[in-house]
Structure 1
Amino acid sequence: MNKYLLSSLCLLALNNVQAQPLTLPTGTITATAVDNDTVSLNTPTTAGSRLNLTAMETPASVESLTGEQIRTRGDRSVQDAVSRSTGISRTGTPGDGGTSLQARGFTGQSSVMQLFDGNRLYTGMGTATFPVDTWSVERVDVLRGPASVLYGEGATGAVVNVIPKKPFDGEIENHLRVGYGSYDRQQQAFDSGGSLTDTLSYRLNLNRLRSNGWIDRGDSASDFISAALRWQATDDLTFTLAHDYGDQKPMNDFGTPLINGHFKDSLRDKNYNVSNDKQHYNDQWTRLTSDWQISDSVSSSNELYYLKAQRRWQNAENYNFNRDTQQLSRSGYFGIGHTQEQIGDRQTFTFKHTLFGLDSQTVTGVDYNRIRFQLDSNSPFNDVLPNGQPVDLYHPQPGRFESADPYRSQFQSTTKQMSVFAENRTQLSERWSVVTGVRRDYVHVDRTNLIDDSQSDKTLTGNNWKAGLVFALTPDTSFYGQYATSTDGVGGLISLSPSQQQYDLATAKQTEIGMKQLFWDQRGEFTLAAYHIVKKKLLTDDPGNPTLKQQVGQQSSNGLEASLDLQLPHAWQLQANVAIVKAKYDDFSAVVTGETVSYNGNRPTDVPRRTANLWLSKAINDDLKAGAGVRYVDARFADMANQNELPSYTVVDATLSWQALRNTTLGLQVNNLFDRQYAQSQYNEGQQWILGEPRSFFVTADYTF
C-alpha cells in the first residue's frame, strides 16, 4: 500500500515544482487581542514539537483550530471541536467526564492524551474534566499518532493541547456575551485583556452556563474563571502567573436502554437515574511561567504548576431489559469520589547551533510531577436488590440511591514522575531536514489500602524515540516520513491496583508517510498521511487460570487521512477531512463463562472505520456571515466480541452571524439541524446508548468595548 501511495504523492507534487530557492517559513506565537480567524501549514504548532516548528516543518500529522473557529461553529466543549478534526471521534461517558476520544484506532485517556497549556493532568481511573468549556480557548493543537517522546506514557493515538487565551500588550479590550437557547440554555460570559502598565498586561475570562437539558431531570451548570498576569521584567525576561478554576455539574445521562436489542424513540428523553444522583467536578490549576532569552542562541523556559481536582459520582448506572420477563431493571449503584493534588515543574533550554556545520536547533528538558490521589467509594458495589430494582419503562420512578456497602475511603497513592527529554531539528540541505527526539520516563507509585492498611508499590520506566525526515520539494510542498514509539499504561498510573502493578507499560510503534501542500497562491492547503501502528503487551485472560492476566496481547491499525482547506472566490471557504482506519485485535482473548474466547481479528470497541467532516462558510456581505457543517461517523462496535453495533450517523449544524452595530454582533447556532437520532457513545457494553442532542438553537449577542 505504501509503495503505491508514495508514487501517487510524488506524481501529485511534481505538478507543482517551482525552480526557486527554498526558504522554509518560521515564526513565533504571539498573543493578540483578537483570536486569529485562521491557521495554516505555516503556523507554529505546540502539539507536534517543542521546537516551535510549523506544521510544514513537522514530520507528523498536526492540525490546529482557533478559538474563534470553535466558538463560531457552536462547539461547546473541546471534545466537540476536536471531533471535527481529521480521524477523531467522541467516545465519552459520565464515567470518564465525557471527555474520552478515539484516534487512529485507540480510545480513552490512556491512549489519547489531553493537555492544558502544554501541561498534563495525570488522570485517576481514566477521568479528565478540564477545561470546562471553549470560551477561554485561544487555540487547540492536535498531533495524531504516538507522542510519548514529547509528553510521556498514554499518547499512542493522539495528543490534544488546549491553549488558553493569553495576556497581550495594548489598549484594554472587553468582550461581553449573553446567550439563550433551547432547553432554557443560558450563557453569560466576559473576556477582558490588555496592558495595565508598560510592563504589566493581563487576561480575564468568565463564563457561566446553565441548562435544563433535553432529558427529564437533565439540569446542568458550569462556571469557569481564567485569569493571567504577565510581567515583562526586562526585554529578555518575562513572568506569567495564571490561575484557572472550573466547577461543573454536567447533564447526568447514562444513556437510553435498548429494548430487545433495539432503540425506541419514545424513550429518548427518559431518565432512569435516581433522584439524588451526583456528577460534580471541581478543578483548579495555577501556573507560574518564566521565559528567558539568555542570548541570541540560548533561551530558557520554566513552568511551575499546581493542580487540585475533586470529582464525585453517585448514580444508578446500569439499565437492563430482560427479554424473558419484558421488564427493565436498574442496578449498578455506584458512589465514587476522587481527590487529586498534583505539583509539577518543567524546565527546558533551547539552543540554536550548528551540527557538523549544519544549522540545527535543540531543546532539552526535565519534567517532574508529584501526584497524591485518593479514591472513596462504596466498593465492592453490592446492590440492595441483587437482581436489580424494577423500573417502569415509560414512567420511571427516580427513587433514592441505595447500596449494600458503605461509602468509605478505599486507597491513597503517591506517584512521583520524572523524565528527561531532548528534541533536535537539523537542516541537512536546502530541501532536506531531519527531526529526532528521545525521552526517558521514570514513575514510582506508592499505594496504601485505607481499609486494611496494606501497601504496594511499583516502579515503571519508559524509553521512547522518534526520527522523521522532511523533504521540501518546493517552498509550498513537503513530503515526510517518520518512525515513532510510545508507551501506554495498563490503567491510569496514579490509580493502578495491586494486580495491575505487576505489569509493564504497553508499548507501541508507528511508521507514517505523508505530504503537505500549499497551492493556488496559498489560498488552498492539502494534507495526506498513511500510517501503521502496532501496540503490544495488552492484558489478556490466562486460559489456564481465569483469575490471572497475561501481558501478551497485541492490537494494530492501518489508516489513511486527508484534509483540505480552500479560500474560494466570492468569500466562500471550505474545510473538509476524511479518515479511513482498519483496526483489529491481533492477539487478544478473554474468558467468558469459563471458556477462553479469542477476539483475534475483531475491531476494538468504539472505533469507526470511517469518519468525515465538512464545513462551508460564506461572507454574504461585510456584516452577514453564514456557515454549515456536516459530521459523519461510521458504525462502531460496543463490545470486543463485535456483536453489539452502534449505527453510523450524519449530523448537520448551521450558524449565522450579523454585525448589527459597530460593536454589536448577533449570532444564531442550530445544532443537529435535521433532528437526527444517533448514538454518540455507549455504556454497559452497548446496552445503553448515550444519544446526541436533538435539534436545538442558541442565540447570542456579543458586545465589544
Structure 2
Amino acid sequence: MKPRHRGQPAAVKAGDHPKQFPRSLGKGLPLSAVLSAGVLCLGAHATIEASAPGQQDKNVETLVVIGQSGGHGNGPEYGYVTEEASVGNKDGMSVLETPQSVSVVNRELMEVQQPATTSQALRYFSGINSESYGGFGTHLDLTRIRGIAADYYLDGLRLISNVSTWSPQLEPYTLERIEVLRGPASALYGQGSGGGIINQVSRRPEAQSGHEMILRGGSFQHRQIGFDSTGALNEDSTWLYRFTGTGLDEHGQIEDTRHKRIYLAPALTWQPNERVSWTLLGTYSNEPELPDYNSLPAISLGLDGSRYPQINPDRNYTDMDYQGSSRKQHSVSSLLAVVVNSVWTFNSNLRYMNVDSKIQRTAVYGFEEQNDHLYLKGVYELAPASSQTWQFDNHVSGKVELGSTTHALILGADYAAGTLKSNSYRTESVLFDPYDPVNYRPDIVPDLSDSMQNWPYNMRQEFERLGIYAQNQIAWQSWRLTLSGRFDHASNDYRIRSYAPAWNIVEQNEQKWTWRAGLGYVSATGLAPYLSYSTLFDPQFGADYSGRPFVPVESAQAEAGLKYHPEGSATMLTAAVFQLNQENVKSGDTQHLGFWIQTGEIRSRGAEFQAMTALSDNLNLIAGYTFLDTTVTEDALYQGKHPTQTPEHSATLWLDHWFTGSLEDLRVGAGMRYLGSTWGNPSNTFKVPAVDLYDLAVSYDLFGLTDHEVTLSLNVSNLSDKQYTASCKSDLYCFIGQGRYATATLTFRW
C-alpha cells in the first residue's frame, strides 16, 4: 500500500485508502439503575428529536458517528500521522489539544509492519514495554507504560478478565487503529491502571464496497488465512456491514508447542439519517491449543552468576502428555451515536463479554542443586477460569460559546458488573534433568484429586463499578484549559479458598474522587506545550496466594510536554517529562508462580521522545527514546530497589522507503530496537543484559503484472536471530526472547 502522503500530503479520513477499498447485579443496584435509566431516557429523547420530521438542522454535516461512538475517531491521517484520537476524551480530540502524551498506530503502519499481536504493534513507540515475555508471550498482551501496567480497551470499553489466567486477546487484523494514552486516566475512564490506556479500535462498516483476502505462511509452520469484506446492504446505504476474520495454525518457537485460532468479527451499522448511527460489533475467538509460556530459573540461563552451562532455551520442558491449555472468548458491543442538534451529541456504548480459559501444563517451578548438577522442578498444574462481564458508558458532549471562550463539555456515567471464577490445582514438584539429551522433561502420571478435594485455590468474585464524570475543555484564543472530575463507587464480594478446605468470605466497598487538570497552548505553527496533573483509583480483582484480597491502587502523575504538528503535515513530534507515583502496585509473586503481591509505593519518572515524520515524499521515519527511573519508595523488603522488567534506557528507529522509476511498486523498511538492561529480581542482585534487535519489511505491488490489486510482502522480526533473555521477574522466573520470525503474505483486494 502506497503512503497516503506520497506526493502532496492530503487529509485522508480513517478508512479512505487510495487505490484500495475503505479501511478503515447486586449491591448498589438502585443507584446504578436510576442513573442508567436517566441517561438512557436522555438517549431515547435525543433519538426521537433527531429523527423527527422537520427537526433536522441543515447546518449539521453528514455524520460519521461510527467514529464518535466507541472511540473510532474521525480525524484526518497523513501517512503514519493521525491528528485526532478519541482516547484523550472519549470523543475525537486533537492530539495537540490533549494534555497528556498520546500515540496512534494506524492501519497503514500495521499493514507495513504486519504485527502478530497488539503488543508487537506498539514496539516502536516510546515509553512502552510490551514484549517482556518474549517467545513465551505471543498469545498474551501485557504492556507496561512508564514502568506501570496498562489497561487494554476495545472500542472505548475496558477488557475485564480474571487475574492470573489468560486475558482476552484481539486479532490485530480486525483493528482499524490502536490508541495509547500514557499515565492515569481515571478522571474519564474510572478505575484503571496508572500506566495508561491502550484502546483497540475495531474496523467498522463502510458504504463503499470492498473486499480483501490474505494468505500467509512463515516460520514455525505458520499458516494463516484472513478476509475482510464491507459494503452497503441496500441502495440508500442506511444498512452497512463488515465481516472480518482469520484462521491461524502455527507451531511455536519452543518445540512441541502449537497455536490454533479461529477469530471472527462481524459488524452491522444502521444509519437512517445524518444524525443517527447504531453499530453492533461481535467478536468470536476459539483457541483449542495455546503455546503455553514457561518461565525458567535465571541460573539455568547463565544469569545471576550461574556456574552451570545454559540449558537449551528452545527445548520444551513440559510434559506434553499433560499439555492442554485453551481459551474461548466472545463479545457483543452496541455503539449508538445521536446528534441531538448543532451543539449536542449523545453516545451510548454497551458490551457483554465472556471468556473461558484453561491452563493445563507442567510449570517449571524452581530448581535444586545436587552433586554439582542442576535439576529443575516441574509442577503439574490445572487452572480453569471464566469471566462474564457487562458494561455500559453513556455520555453527552457538545460545544458551547460563552463570550470569547469555547467550552467543549462531556457529561456521562458508566457502569460495569460481572462474575469472575478461577481455580488452581497443583501436584508436588517433580525433579528432572534439563541437560539429559533424551529425558529432559518431567514424566509422571499426575494425580490432582487430593489437591482438588483438600487443598484447592478457588476464587469467586462478583463486582459492580459505577462512575459519574464530567469534563470541560475551555478554549480561549490559543490556550486550552482542560478540567476533568469523576466519582467512582466499587463493590466486590469474594469467596476464596486458599489451599484450605474452608471458604473465606470478604466484602469490599470503595469510593473515590479523581481528577485531571491540564493547560496547553496550541500555536498557529503547530507547536503545543502543555502541563497536566492527573489522579487514579483502581480497586483490584483477585487475591494473593494466602487469599487476602487486593486493596485499591492509587496513582498521581505530573507531566510536562511539547508537541509539534504543522497542520496538514506528515510530521508529529512529541516530548514529555513526568513523575508518576503509584501505591499498592501489583507485581508477580516471586515465590508462587501465577500469583501476585502488592508493594507499598513505586515512583516512576523520566523523559520520552517520539518522532513520526516523512523525510521526503517516499521516506518515512519513526524514532523513539525513553529514559525511565523507577524506584520502590515504600516497601518492607525492597525499599530503594528498582522494579523488574523495566529498562532504564530504550530506543527505536524505523525507516521505510518507496522506490521510484522502474521499482516504483517496491517498498523496503528496516527497524532497530534497543532494549536496555533490566533488573532480574526485586532485590536487584543481578541484571538481564541489554539487547539490540533488527526487523525488516519488504513489499511489492503486483498491479502491473496481474491487473488486480495484489501485494506480496515479507516481514522478518529479529533478523539476526539473536538469542537473548527478554526479562526476569525473579531468580526463578525468566523468559527467553523471541527468535527470528519471518512471514510472507499475499494480499488480494477487489
Q: Same fold (TM over 0.5)?
A: yes
1:462, distance to aligned residue in structure 2 (A): 2.6
| Alignment of 1:245 onto 2:284 | yes
1:307, distance to aligned residue in structure 2 (A): 0.4
Q: Which amino acid aligns with 2:90?
A: R
Q: Say which SS state the counterpart of residue 739 (structure 2) adopts.
A: coil
Separation of aligned partners in 2, 1:586 and 1:454: 32
| Alignment of 1:418 onto 2:459 | no
Which residue of 543, 559, 562 corresponds with 1:515? Answer: 562
Paired position in structure 1 for 2:207: 169
Q: Which amino acid aligns with 2:512?
A: G
Aligned length in residues: 651
Separation of aligned partners in 2, 1:581 and 1:512: 14
Paired position in structure 2 for 1:300: 346
Contact 1:41/1:56, CA 8 A, preserved across alignment: no
Deviations 1:432-486 (A, max 9, x none): 1111111111111112347645532111123210000011233411110001111
Deviations 1:500-536 (A, max 9, x none): 44x6422211111111113598343321111011223
Paired position in structure 1 for 2:197: 159
Matches within 5 A, 1:1-400: 33-35=22-24, 38=78, 43-89=83-129, 90-92=131-133, 98-107=140-149, 112-125=150-163, 127=165, 129-170=167-208, 172-197=209-234, 198=236, 199-248=238-287, 249-259=289-299, 262=302, 267-275=312-320, 276-325=322-371, 326-355=373-402, 358-378=405-425, 381-383=426-428, 385=429, 388-389=431-432, 392-395=435-438, 396-397=440-441, 399=443, 400=445
Which residue of 573, 579, 584 corresponds with 2:620? Answer: 573
Unpaired segments ≥5 residues, structure 1:
1-24, 541-548, 591-598
| Alignment of 1:485 onto 2:535 | yes
Structure 2 length-normalised TM? 0.81
Which residue of 590, 609, 613 corresponds with 2:652? Answer: 613
Q: Say which SS state the counterpart of residue 100 (structure 1) adopts.
A: coil
Contact 2:23/2:203, CA 8 A, preserved across alignment: no
| Alignment of 1:642 onto 2:684 | yes
Q: Which amino acid aligns with 2:575?
A: L
Q: Say which SS state the counterpart of residue 277 (structure 2) adopts.
A: strand
| Alignment of 1:627 onto 2:673 | no
1:539, distance to aligned residue in structure 2 (A): 8.4
Separation of aligned partners in 2, 1:241 and 1:436: 32
Q: Say which SS state the counterpart of residue 111 (structure 2) adopts.
A: helix
| Alignment of 1:430 onto 2:477 | yes
Paired position in structure 1 for 2:55: none
* Residues 80-89 or 125-134, more deviating: 125-134
- Cα separation, partners in 2 of 1:128 and 1:420, compared to 1, 3 Å: farther
Which residue of 666, 681, 684 corresponds with 2:712? Answer: 666
Matches within 5 A, 1:677-688: 677-682=723-728, 685-688=730-733
Deviations 1:638-673 (A, max 9, x none): 321012322111110101111123311111111211
Question: When you count strand as a share of all residues, which structure comes out higher?
Answer: 1
Paired position in structure 1 for 2:514: 464
Paired position in structure 2 for 1:14: none
Separation of aligned partners in 1, 2:473 and 2:141: 33
Separation of aligned partners in 1, 2:365 and 2:551: 35
Separation of aligned partners in 1, 2:137 and 2:116: 19
Q: Say which SS state the counterpart of residue 95 (structure 2) adopts.
A: coil
Separation of aligned partners in 1, 2:586 and 2:262: 39
Contact 2:353/2:388, CA 8 A, preserved across alignment: yes
Contact 2:411/2:469, CA 8 A, preserved across alignment: yes
Deviations 1:614-640 (A, max 9, x none): 110000133111101111111111321
Q: Say which SS state the counterpart of residue 169 (structure 1) adopts.
A: coil
Paired position in structure 1 for 2:523: 473
Separation of aligned partners in 2, 1:493 and 1:319: 24
Separation of aligned partners in 2, 1:646 and 1:41: 34
Q: Which amino acid aligns with 1:226?
A: A
Contact 1:347/1:366, CA 8 A, preserved across alignment: yes
Matches within 5 A, 1:497-512: 500-501=548-549, 504-512=551-559
Q: Say which SS state the counterpart of residue 406 (structure 1) adopts.
A: helix
Separation of aligned partners in 1, 2:315 and 2:579: 42
Separation of aligned partners in 1, 2:416 and 2:545: 20
Separation of aligned partners in 2, 1:655 and 1:538: 38
- Cα separation, partners in 2 of 1:292 and 1:609, compared to 1, 3 Å: same
1:689, distance to aligned residue in structure 2 (A): 3.2
Paired position in structure 2 for 1:15: none
Paired position in structure 2 for 1:16: none
Separation of aligned partners in 1, 2:566 and 2:418: 48
Separation of aligned partners in 1, 2:621 and 2:174: 25
- Cα separation, partners in 2 of 1:40 and 1:259, compared to 1, 3 Å: closer
* Residues 692-701 or 365-374, more deviating: 692-701
* Residues 122-131 or 336-345, more deviating: 122-131
Q: Which amino acid aligns with 2:263?
A: F
Paired position in structure 2 for 1:18: none
Contact 1:67/1:134, CA 8 A, preserved across alignment: no
Separation of aligned partners in 1, 2:82 and 2:284: 33
Q: Say which SS state the counterpart of residue 382 (structure 2) adopts.
A: strand
Deviations 1:221-256 (A, max 9, x none): 121100100011232111111111112333223145
Separation of aligned partners in 2, 1:445 and 1:155: 18
Separation of aligned partners in 2, 1:363 and 1:496: 38
Separation of aligned partners in 2, 1:66 and 1:31: 12
Structure 1 length-normalised TM? 0.86
C-alpha RMSD of matched pairs (Å): 2.9
Unpaired segments ≥5 residues, structure 2:
1-9, 25-75, 304-308, 588-595
| Alignment of 1:697 onto 2:735 | no
Q: Say which SS state the counterpart of residue 727 (structure 2) adopts.
A: strand
Q: Say which SS state the counterpart of residue 639 (structure 1) adopts.
A: coil
Identity of aligned residues (%): 21
Paired position in structure 2 for 1:560: 607
- Cα separation, partners in 2 of 1:618 and 1:37, compared to 1, 3 Å: farther
Paired position in structure 2 for 1:20: none
Separation of aligned partners in 1, 2:316 and 2:640: 37
Q: Which amino acid aligns with 1:412?
A: R
Q: Which amino acid aligns with 1:652?
A: Y
1:317, distance to aligned residue in structure 2 (A): 1.4
- Cα separation, partners in 2 of 1:97 and 1:444, compared to 1, 3 Å: farther
- Cα separation, partners in 2 of 1:356 and 1:444, compared to 1, 3 Å: farther
Paired position in structure 2 for 1:604: 643
Separation of aligned partners in 1, 2:608 and 2:260: 37
Q: Which amino acid aligns with 2:670?
A: A
